Amino acid sequence: MALSKTQLPGTPQHFLECGVVDCERNCEFYCNLCHTRLCKQCSYEHQRSSETESHEIVLYQQRKRQLPTEKCKIHPTKDIELLCEECKIPICSKCTATSAHRGHTFTDLESIYTDKFSHCQGEIAKIHDYFLPTSKDLQKEINGDITEVKKIIDNIRTSMKAEAESIKSLVDKVTSENMEEVNKIEQSLLEKLNDQETTIEKYIAYLNDLDKKFHVYLSSLKPTELFTAEDMKIECIPETTKPVMPVFTAGKYNKEDIAKLLGKKTFPNMKEEMRKVQPLKEKKSTSYLKATSYQVMKDSKLTSNMKQTLSLTSSVTEVRKFTVPGVGNVWHMSLDQSGRLWISDIAGNLVQTDLQGNQLQKIQTSSIYGYHTVTQDGDLIFTDKNKTVINRITLDNNITEVIKTGDWVPLSIHSSHINGDLLVGMRKIGESKITRYNKTGKQLQNIQRDNKGQELYTAPYYITENINGDICTSDLAKMAVVVVNKSGQHRFSYKGQGSSFNPHGICADVLGHILVCHLLNIHILDQDGRFLTLLTPKQVSSPISVCLVDENNLYVGEANKTVNVIKYLQSMNTEFI
């Protein structure tokens, strides 16, 4: 299958049409002078025409951005279209002839605007693809470090207290042992002194008795009694010893000694490491090349002969997963132009998150299934089944009614990235249909019956658009995927591969594949309804909704709060027929 369709930036599953009136072919080229989208045939005719043969035709991806209209302040009837290189101010063509700019050099302002526009788009992409995710990863890493620091410090505090308690216990034990030893010393000394005291008391009593005897002898009047008295001698004083007094030497400790005893908590002798940040990989910019008729036709031939560089892979790769706050399950997803997701659940909760699952805002609604979508202008459109209206939320968060559906209850909605039309699945008692509205809410088309007059739909709960303009609908009551072309003619209905098929979320990818959730797995069909394969990622237990964020990342919402990001396409080497 040749690649011959120009992808609409930011919406990989849809393509632009040629801008020439009554031409419905796909756009591949662009006229930088008249700012017109062109298919291969119209680009050839554009350069063959004598009026436009000198126009600059380039590949659509290499186009110049159309300069917004702004009037010159000096010449109000003229548009600003040039930049004076010397004065560094934007001017109109009439200003070039004035004396203020005579002899100056001028640059086409449109080229500068294109460069600035592309630069801004590139910077926005860098913010969402690199700087925001990297910064949030760093934030998570820092939060992890904060938690770790608190945990480590708490452990240190516990260790310090335990160490102090251990030291206190040892001090109490040593003090108790020292006290016991001192008590024993005291008891031993006192026993010795008490014995000496008893000996001295006995000796004093002896002396008192002896003193009395001597006085008796002295008082006697008979000399013969004195002469015959015993020759008494005084016994020597008993020997006693002076005790050696114990001495206590106080320990000489200061605060530093205690700190050393208890241990000291310090940082290791290491420098702080810089956090590792993956460098931004700069994408090579594409210069704006002039395409001659020969170059256009040559490039077109190469494009038409190039084989597909993407194909279904035999295995599914898990990229990551995240949990969505504010919802009970992931029943439907819509992607906006800023790379953010709108996610709803079965209870009518509708939240906006970034691609990491961080909640940005939340709305309470009355609908359930595929009831919201994002327009080419970046506005959120959602249905209110209770009030039977369709609402718009602009970028400044104002909610306005766009369409009143009357007796018909709006169930599902999809904004076409081909032309901006709104496709709405609706139902009332006994009837269901798909209605097409333009951007202003004007009804353009009703799709209700096939060419045999049979009802096409019963419960059109999810709806999407394929790259060829086909309208693909998950009909839960019919247990089928119903596909009609953009004119509303029935092309096919797919009823699964077994006895029971419960189609829910549905989308189409860059190759025209139709992906539809079946609660247990994801069925992949080609754009003619032929079954290709089943996606049964091991990490996905109950797929309910699908959304393509780019050509290779599929977001799968589950019947819980989980969104899984998987890859199911593989790149192939470019080959030529």
As a dihedral over the C-alpha atoms of residue 111, residue 112, residue 117, residue 123, rounded to 10 degrees, the angle is 130
Please give the biggest Cα pair distance in the chain: 186
- Tell me, yes or no, whether 463 and 519 share the same domain: yes
Could you read off the pLDDT of 525-561 as tens digits, one per residue? 999 999 988 887 777 888 999 998 876 789 999 988 8
Name the residue range of residue 223's domain: 126-262
Cβ 556 vs Cβ 519: under 8 Å: no
- Tell me, yes or no, whether 456 and 500 share the same domain: yes
pLDDT for position 224: 66
Site of tokens 């009694």:
225
Phi, psi at 496, each rounded to 5°: 85, -170
Tell me if 278 is assigned to some domain: no
Tell me how far apart the terminal alpha carbons of the chain are, to the nearest angstrom. 11
- Tell me, yes or no, whether 295 and 341 share the same domain: no
- Tell me, yes or no, whether 487 and 561 share the same domain: yes
- Tell me, yes or no, whether 302 and 319 share the same domain: no
- Tell me, yes or no, whether 398 and 530 share the same domain: yes
Instruction: Tell me the DSSP string of 389-420.
Output: EEEEE-TT--EEEEEE-TTSEEEEEEE-TTT-
For the chain, percent of residues with pLDDT exceeding 70: 87
Tell me if 349 is assigned to some domain: yes
Tell me if 110 is assigned to some domain: no
Tell me if 577 is assigned to some domain: no
Tell me if 567 is assigned to some domain: yes
Could you read off the pLDDT of 261-299 as tens digits, one per residue? 776 666 565 567 777 777 776 554 433 333 333 333 334
Tell me if 272 is assigned to some domain: no
Could you read off the pLDDT of 492-527 as tens digits, one per residue? 999 998 778 899 999 998 888 999 998 788 999 999
Low-confidence ranges of the chain (pLDDT < 70): 1-15, 220-231, 263-271, 281-310, 314, 551, 571-577
Could you give the number of structural domains in the chain?
Answer: 3
pLDDT for position 226: 61
CATH of the domain at 346: 2.120.10.30
Q: What pairing do the DSSP bridges indicate for beta strands 506-508 and 514-517?
A: antiparallel
- Tell me, yes or no, whether 90 and 158 share the same domain: no
Tell me if 158 is assigned to some domain: yes
- Tell me, yes or no, whether 74 and 43 share the same domain: yes
- Tell me, yes or no, whether 505 and 401 share the same domain: yes
- Tell me, yes or no, whether 38 and 89 share the same domain: yes
Tell me if 546 is assigned to some domain: yes
- Tell me, yes or no, whether 258 and 380 share the same domain: no
Tokens of 369: 């299934």
- Tell me, yes or no, whether 238 and 340 share the same domain: no
